[in-house]
Amino acid sequence: MIKINQKIYDLEIASHSFEAFHQEKIKKLKLSDYKGQWLILIFYPADFTFVCPTELEEAAHYYQEFKKLGAEVLSISTDTVFVHKAWHDYSPAIRKIKFPMVADPTGRLSKEFGTYIEEEGVSFRGTFILDPDGKLTAYEMHHNSIGRSAEELLRKLHAAVFVREHEGEVCPASWKPGKKTLKPSLNLVGKI
């Protein structure tokens, strides 16, 4: 499994190509295509399910906010690009998606990121934020019966961008842009 601060662009998986349904086309992509920008990977179990469309619709709602912070979003399931297209054409919620919908039918990406459920052939709900250097800065994993919050994901991205741009500062719990940050030092020990 990928670990915090691990650079994915140093791994073989970064140069592995995969298919995605995006802008009414099937495209070949690689994780290394996103070097130099923030990247958010949203793994989910399967198309035509119950919780998944609520999460992806919410991610679509915040997509322009992610883009403003220099991030691309990729949703990833073990379905094929043809299933992604059919779901996109059929579901009003999924039709709102403007980001690439990645096909991982062999589970290769899911296995690399530690989200793959071998006995089911699907992924857990895993979310990964990679910085422009390909370093993993945040991730979360959910049981498939629990949906994620795209609003919280956006908050985490804001914090990750802030920390990268303001060396020596850290973001406390529930930090949002404009709120106070901390500068770790011995003077703060025991005073928070």
Among 118, 146, 184, 175, which residue's Cα sits nearest to residue 52? 146
Checking phi first, is residue 134 left (phi over 0); if not, alpha (psi -120 to 50) or beta? left
The average pLDDT across 60-66 equals 98
**Amino acid identity for residue 118 in this structure:** E
Does 179 score more than 90 pLDDT? Answer: yes
Write down the pLDDT at residue 189: 82
The reported pTM is 0.95
E-strand ranges in the chain read 17-22, 25-30, 38-43, 71-77, 101-103, 116-117, 122-123, 125-130, 136-142
Average pLDDT, rounded, for the chain: 95
Helices (H), the chain: 51-68, 81-90, 108-112, 150-165
What's the CA angle centered on 42, arms 41 and 48, to 5 degrees?
A: 145
Give the separation between CA 112 and CA 56, rounded to whole angstroms.
Answer: 22
Which residue bears the tokens 């992924």?
Answer: 123
Write down the pLDDT at residue 1: 81
pLDDT in tens, 16-60: 999 999 999 999 999 999 999 999 999 999 999 999 999 999 999
Q: Which residues are catalytic?
A: 52
pLDDT band at 190 (very low <50, low <70, confident <90, very high): confident
